[in-house]
Amino acid sequence: MKILIVGGGMGGTILANNLARRLAPELRAGKVQLAMLSASDKHMYQPGLLYLALGRMTPDELYRDQASLLEPGIDFQVDPVETFELDQNRVKTKSGKTHGYDILVVATGSRPVPEMIPGLAENAETFYTEATALKMFKRLQAFQGGRVVIAVGVPHKCPMAPLEIIFMLHDYFKDRGIRDKVQLHYTYPVGRVHTLENVAKWAAPEMDRLGITYETLFNMKQVDGANKVVKSEEGSEAKYDLLITIPAHKGMEVIETNKLGAGGFIPTNKTQLTMEGRKNVYVIGDTTNIPISKAGSTVHYQAETLGENIAAIVKLGAPVREHDGKVFCFIEVGKDRATYAQFNYTTPPDPKPPTKAVHWFKMAYNKLYWTTARGLL
């Protein structure tokens, strides 16, 4: 049996290592082949980009060689897929190779697309790529005072990022001794300061306490860079001196060009993790259309469920469990305190007040992540 994983990010890597361990005897015996195709030989720890923009991590800390993270038995090739021929159970890559499969897993992730909003890419800072995070770091260092506006696109990965950045900016400017010269203004697309009700209930009074103003039901429509104004679909506008955006995202271009899903998001069964209409194609991570957080922890737990199920298909002939939609997200609330939100399809989150202990847990996890990537933690 040939298992092919397309995508070497968090989901693909955790899944590949999970399967390599579960199916070690079958791999050794040649009964199963496990391959991974990725566009990059490097693996990035994406949550680190937030810290990079604030000068708290350096670029080298974000990366490991992908091959160094993979268990023996995984045929890893840096050769991105260009064509999906699902009816023929095969994909074609940039180098011209054709890879057949019995089971395909698509874990290609998502990408920020600030260009979807006129004026946004050229007038706003963001921290969703290494290059833009470094640019934002320099811009923040040079900023001496004025109005900072956060504007959030939909959908986006890392749902906690809007809150994290506003609270971390409060401490950043306070540490620089210029918080009294900075007005922090937070905008958000739905009718409260965060889509998670219990998180919003805690966050709004915290913003009031810290002197952070906010406007909800604010979906970016365009940015007027000449006049430094961001305008919303809802008819309001916010003036800024420094605009920081969590941009809208799409799935990877290859998903769109192969017409696998609108916006690059593939229709996916939320408990089976199968592509709708396909029994041997699975989808995990940001590229699904499941109404769930686009986050590392989401795909971490999806990969664990799927690893167990694919191994069961090999060994027992059928999957053994349904996915429960578990998500666990840290929420940094400034430079030295954090909390977390844990939930699934049936149980909402109930975040506790932030503590230093949870912040240090997050700091430790920034390093421990690599053991998660290796399928160990």
Chain contacts with another protein (rule: CB under 8 A): 116, 154-155, 159, 189-191, 195-197, 217, 219, 233-235, 248, 262-263, 291-294, 325, 327, 341, 343, 345-346, 348-349
Can you tell me the distance from the alpha carbon of 243 to that of 262, in angstroms, rounded to the nearest whole number?
29
Can you tell me the distance from the alpha carbon of 136 to that of 247, in angstroms, rounded to the nearest whole number?
14
Q: Nearest to residue 243, comparing CAs of 353, 322, 151? A: 151
Q: State which residue, 93 or 274, has the beta carbon closest to another protein.
A: 274
CB of 161 to another protein, least distance (A): 12
CB of 332 to another protein, least distance (A): 17
Which residues lie below 8 Å from residue 285, measured CB to CB, with a gap of 6+?
A: 7, 9, 10, 11, 12, 107, 108, 109, 110, 294, 298, 299, 302
User: Half-sphere exposure (CA, 13 Å, Cβ side) for 41?
Assistant: 2
Q: Nearest to residue 363, comparing CAs of 337, 342, 341? A: 337
On whether the CB atoms of residues 187 and 214 are closer than 8 A, the answer is yes
Q: Nearest to residue 148, comparing CAs of 187, 175, 118? A: 187
Q: State which residue, 249 or 374, has the beta carbon closest to another protein.
A: 249
- Please count the other Cβ atoms lying within 10 Å of the Cβ belonging to residue 67: 13
End-to-end CA, the chain: 27
CB of 301 to another protein, least distance (A): 14
Supply the DSSP symbol for 259: T
CB of 190 to another protein, least distance (A): 5
Q: State which residue, 23 or 220, has the beta carbon closest to another protein.
A: 220
Q: State which residue, 46 or 293, has the beta carbon closest to another protein.
A: 293
Q: State which residue, 36 or 152, has the beta carbon closest to another protein.
A: 152
Q: State which residue, 213 or 219, has the beta carbon closest to another protein.
A: 219
Q: State which residue, 285 or 349, has the beta carbon closest to another protein.
A: 349
Which residues lie below 8 Å from residue 329, measured CB to CB, with a gap of 6+?
A: 158, 159, 160, 293, 295, 297, 340, 341, 342
CB of 219 to another protein, least distance (A): 6
CB of 240 to another protein, least distance (A): 22
CB of 326 to another protein, least distance (A): 12
